[in-house]
A and B are shown apart, each in its own frame.
Chain A
Amino acid sequence: MTPKAFLIATSLALTATFAAAENIKLSVTTSFANSGLAEVLLPEIAKDIDLNVQLLIVGTGQALELGANGDVDAVLVHSRKAEEKWLAEGNGTHRREIMYNDFVIIGPSVDPAGIKTSATAADALKAIEATKSKFVSRGDDSGTHKMELALWQNAGVTAEGDWYASVGQGMGAALNTAAGMNAYILADRASWLNFANKADLAIAFEGDPVLFNQYAYMPVNPEKHAHVKADAAAKLEAWLTSPRAKELIENYQIGGQQLFVFNASTK
């Protein structure tokens, strides 16, 4: 056999075929995937309703863009304003809330801005700005980034200057940067608890209701993109809002802490 023929034969032999179960493409935010919940839910979905969910793990901005272009069948994101705009543009059929977790402000364990005792998230951000403590921003148009911008606006602070680093990366990469710089950063609790490279960082501020992080599921509009698997998307929605999903989501813990609260309304 000539080398080339050998290589061609090998590459043909390597072409794997996948199980016959129906596939559905779902774009989700990095924070959802990094939380580890997907690894719990996906095998159960495959078992219960014979649906093979293929995850595209991207920022909220890109997740919505993939849906708008018809490249996925549904999206699961957490940025209400962007979701509503996306729906208004006719990209999806409807929005269904599934669950929430919350955001926390992570910072150096010595807490140079002293935000542990802040009364509100706005006070905490004001303190960070006043002390010019280093702060890492996702800067990637993701749900977390949008939440952060809303919080700065809410606090009446313009986040600009040497202390403010916008990295334009996903949650994990931004946390790695914050760990390296020993800086403050806004993160969702799930990603933080699951993050392995915590270095000297710790939760500096938590608990303000404005830090509420609602995840919503939106099927892509089949009238706009005829090829999308609307039936499979409906089947997945029914499962995600079922008592079975509630049980799995609420029992998902890291280090003894519950990460998500199921709040889907059962139709």
Chain B
Amino acid sequence: MDKIWEALYQAARLIFGFDPDLVEITLLSLQVTVTATLIASAIGLPLGAWLVVNRFRYRRIVIAIINALMGLPPVVVGLFVYIMLSRSGPFGVLGLLFTPTAMIIAQVIIITPIIVSISHQAIRELWADYHDLLISLNATRLQRVMTLIKDGRRALLTAALAGFGRAIGEVGAIMIVGGNIDHVTRVLTTAIALETGKGEFGLALALGFVLIGMAILVNLAVHGLSRTERGSRW
């Protein structure tokens, strides 16, 4: 238990001392995961809504596959992206391996199924209420999707934040495609894995606390900006 208190103290010291390395890896963590979440949301939210308003033959199987993909092991995603981006792979000439871009690609693959799945569930309930209205107004497919996204934005925000949460704590994939290179692709989670490997449990835990703290701040900031969870509003 002493280790936990020590780690909390060390975390506080790192944060308030504005340790330059800590600031760098924290900002990189944010940059990679925020970008991945924005991209995955841009793909996932409309796709979730689209799956609700469209009835097509393989709809069930598509939904089942997307739900199953939520369980993709990050290491497998990492290996897949590595093979694609390796100099010996199909996209090797782009030279993207061991860059933050490669890490963003891996995280987008990991969290898009989560965002699709959660937004699909949320919008399906909304669709039950809106169905007759939108049909009677003779709204186009696109208008239906846009209306559902707009009115379901609170639930969709949750979907995006769930994606952010999975991505910010992810280590298996970005370790492989980012390489944990100091000052280039080292982020909070890969630094935690590195320090654990060195047996520096205190520092590793301290970095973990920084990670949680940052995730809380991001969630609060998003709620603040979108004015949710405030007083009587919902």
Q: For the complex, is B72 an interface residue (Cβ under 8 Å from A)? A: no
Residue B121 CB within 8 A of the other chain? no
Given contacts A3-B225, A7-B38, A8-B38, contact A69 B197 (CB under 8 A): no
Asked whether any CB of chain B lies closer than 8 Å to the CB of A57, the reply is yes
What size tier do the contact residues of chain A reach?
A: 35 or more
User: How many residues in B have their beta carbons less than 8 Å from beta carbons of A?
Assistant: 32
- Whether A69 lies near B183 (C-beta < 8 A) is no
Chosen A-B contacts, 14 in total, with CB atoms closer than 8 Å, are A6-B225, A14-B28, A14-B30, A25-B98, A56-B181, A57-B180, A68-B88, A70-B92, A71-B97, A71-B98, A173-B197, A196-B200, A197-B199, A227-B95
B217 within 8 Å of A by Cβ? Answer: no
CB distance from A74 to the nearest CB of B (A): 14
Nearest CB on B from A179, distance (A):
8
Contact mask for chain A residues 6-22; partner B; CB cutoff 8 A; 1 contact, 0 none: 11101100111010000
Q: A residues within 8 A CB of B31?
A: 11, 14-15
Alpha-carbon separation in the docked complex, A7 to B38 (Å)? 9
CB distance from B108 to the nearest CB of A (A): 14
Q: How far is the CA of A173 from the CA of B87 in the complex (A)?
A: 29
Q: Which of A1-46 contact B (CB under 8 A)?
A: 3-4, 6-8, 10-11, 14-16, 18, 25, 30, 34
Contacting residues of chain B (83-113) with chain A, CB-CB under 8 angstroms: 86-89, 92, 95, 97-98
| Residues on B with beta carbons closer than 8 Å to the beta carbon of A170 | 197
A85 to B199, CA, bound (A): 33
Cβ contact of A56, chosen from B24, B179, B196, B198, cutoff 8 A: B179
- Note all chain A residues with C-beta closer than 8 A to B92: 70
Please determine whether B197 and A171 come into contact, CB atoms closer than 8 angstroms. yes
Q: Given A57-B180, A70-B87, are A195 and B199 neighbors across the interface (CB < 8 Å)? A: yes
Nearest chain-B residue to A58 (Cβ)? B179
Instruction: Give CA–CA (A14, B29) in the complex, Å.
Output: 10
- Asked whether B34 is an interface residue with its Cβ less than 8 Å from the other chain, the reply is yes
When distances are taken between beta carbons in the complex, the residues of chain B under 8 Å from A15 are 31
Question: Is A176 in contact with B199, judged by CB distance below 8 angstroms?
Answer: yes
Residues of A within 8 A of B86 (CB): 69-71
By the criterion CB–CB under 8 Å, are B194 and A57 in contact? yes
* Beta-carbon contact of A34 and B197 below 8 Å: yes
A residues adjacent to B (C-beta < 8 A): 3-4, 6-8, 10-11, 14-16, 18, 25, 30, 34, 54-57, 68-71, 170-173, 175-176, 179, 194-198, 225, 227
Q: What is the count of residue pairs linking A and B with beta-carbon distances less than 8 angstroms?
A: 84
Verify B34–A10 contact, CB threshold 8 A. Answer: yes
B225 proximity list for chain A (CB < 8 A): 3, 6
Q: In the complex, A69→B197 CA distance in Å?
A: 26
Contact assessment for A70 and B198 in the assembled complex, using a CB-CB cutoff below 8 Å: no
Closest to B202 in A: A196
Residue among B87, B88, B97, B180 with most chain A CB within 10 A:
B87
Cβ of B146 under 8 Å from chain A: no
Within 8 A of A (CB), among B182-208: 182-184, 194, 196-201
Contact of A55 among B35, B97, B181, B226 (CB under 8 A): B181
| A39 CB to nearest chain B CB (Å) | 9
The docked-state distance in angstroms from the alpha carbon of A153 to that of B42 is 56
For A179, list chain B residues within 8 Å (CB): 199
Q: How far is the CB of A241 from chain B (nearest CB, A)?
A: 24
Which residues of the other chain, B, contact A176 by a CB distance below 8 angstroms? 196-197, 199
Q: Which of A7, A8, A227 contacts B87 (CB 8 A)?
A: A227
* Contact with B197, one of A25, A30, A56 (Cβ below 8 angstroms): A30
Is B222 an interface residue, CB under 8 A from the partner? yes
Residues in B with CB closer than 8 Å to A4 are 38
B142 beta carbon closer than 8 Å to chain A: no
Q: Which of B30, B95, B198 is A195 in contact with, Cβ under 8 Å?
A: B198
Closest to A14 in B: B31
Interface mask (B59-98 → A, CB under 8 Å = 1, otherwise 0):
0000000000000000000000000001111001001011
Closest to B37 in A: A7
User: Known: A71-B98, A175-B199. Contact between A18 and B87, CB under 8 A?
Assistant: no
